[in-house]
Chains A and B, each alone.
Chain A
């Protein structure tokens, strides 16, 4: 019953969104939290009137948070309780240097202080007082310095350290953590100071499993120091444009490596050849590397390869016949290359493929027939290709397809009929000028749709009638200019919507805001370039979950929105105009 029971620790998830693109977030500012990333950071709030009753523990922690100045120490409490109090103070941003003193010697396990405003080296003393209980520390985007790292030397059981975006950590700090041999996860994203010299301090971290050095421009020549890290499974040196073929030679013996990310580096086909002995490699991200299809020869030996990203590599058709040998592939990204339909025949035997990205390739209807047998395909990206309605018919048998992007293709209304049997479809992007209401009519039985993007399609009020069948819709964008208040009425029953973009429909007035006032799940709303005025803002008072509001080029001022935020919309963190 609480007390000293074993506490379930949240795993510090290091799931980079690998499909999204090469380099993730650059910003250090607090604004990255606004849409609520996957990390669960909701402060407990007993007064919120949630459906589920707050537990007695929640209520006590809420009370402690309110009375925090009355508590000088928590060291007498069982650790799992003081940990919850700490986490709550961080979420609610009530923690400061003096309150932190109450957590001295509490034997805490996880200190998640990423992007916490006000952190500085003086806090490290309390951090270090957790001693051998301390298992993970997240100090990302903080001002911790090399001297601050001295305090970690005593925490011998540390498993995970996150120093992403810590601009003051340099080679001089790394020797301080060189003795923490229990470390399994270490992360230094975007560090301009660490060089090969600094990496030499990591050579003794023999239990290291995950190492993240994304956007570290000075580490070339340093990967040789990782040679002894035989347990290393994941290495990320994306956007380290200094990394070259010699660095690949240095890691060629890391037989445990499962995930390797070298996007936007200088590795060439010769460098890839050094990877052929990495038999456990399942993920290889080479987006934006100066490689050609010749490197595929080195990859055919890798039986475990599931994910391959060769986007933006300036690949041509030459050598693409080698793709047919990569039978294990589940995810293949060939976006933004100079490839043509001629290569599609070489993909037809990749029957394990679940995700295929051909964005901006010179793909047309010829060759689409070769995709018809890829029955496991869940996600297909054809944006900015010459695929048309004739090519679409080959997709009608792909009954596992969940996500399809046909934006900026030459698909027409008639072709969309071929998709009506794809009942698994959840996400559909039809942002193309030639799509009209008639195309939407063909899709009404795709009732599983959650994301529908009709941005530039010419949808009018009569087309919105067809939207009523999409009862599970969470995201909708219609910005073609053809809507009036009458059409928006058809949206008002789509109560699952969390994102709605009706910008650039210049006929919409405040009446539309009235129609959507019942969409209480909305998190993001955009009605820019419409005739919405500040008088209409009152209809948004019910949208308590709204975090983002965009009303550019409307008769609405930033002050109007600020007023709305302060009186009715506490969750609003991002709005325009600002």
Chain B
């Protein structure tokens, strides 16, 4: 993955998840942060910190992003159910 195509999502514990920008843009909030013409620090460094989201949850969210991208192209029968397990 080229650096320009990625963003870094940082959890409450400081874990860093480097994912494709396209995946992160599934979230409208992140999309706004990264594409707004304003002066968000996030736009400059390509990093978003989530001090209130813990690591396990942020990991699951990143998995959801990729699942959602695949879903847009195929039906859920083709890619399988999204599992939220214990």
| Residues of chain A having any CB pair with chain B under 8 Å | 1, 46-49, 53-54, 56, 59-60, 63
Contact = CB atoms under 8 A, between A and B. Distances in A.
B71 interface: yes
Interface residues of B, number: 13
20 contacts: A1-B27, A1-B29, A46-B76, A46-B81, A46-B82, A47-B76, A47-B81, A49-B75, A49-B76, A49-B77, A53-B68, A53-B71, A53-B72, A54-B82, A56-B61, A56-B64, A59-B82, A59-B84, A60-B84, A63-B84
| SS of A interface (majority) | helix
A46 B80 CA distance: 10
Interface of B: 27, 29, 61, 64, 68, 71-72, 75-77, 81-82, 84
Contacts of A1: 27, 29
A53 B84 CA distance: 16
B64 A59 contact: yes
A53 B78 CA distance: 13
B63 to A, nearest CB: 10
Given A49-B75, A53-B68, 16 more contacts: A1-B27, A1-B29, A46-B76, A46-B81, A46-B82, A47-B76, A49-B76, A49-B77, A53-B71, A54-B82, A56-B61, A56-B64, A59-B82, A59-B84, A60-B84, A63-B84
A149 B68 CA distance: 46
B65 to A, nearest CB: 9
Q: Which 7 A-B pairs have the closest CB atoms?
A: A53-B71, A49-B75, A63-B84, A56-B64, A53-B68, A49-B76, A59-B82
Contacts of A60: 84
Nearest to A64: B84
A59 B63 CA distance: 13
Nearest to B75: A49
A30 B77 CA distance: 32
Nearest to B85: A63
Contacts of A56: 61, 64
A46 B81 CA distance: 8
Contacts of A53: 68, 71-72
A56 B76 CA distance: 14
B84 to A, nearest CB: 5
Contacts of B77: 49
A84 B56 CA distance: 23
A46 B84 CA distance: 12
A299 to B, nearest CB: 52
B54 to A, nearest CB: 14
Contacts of B84: 59-60, 63
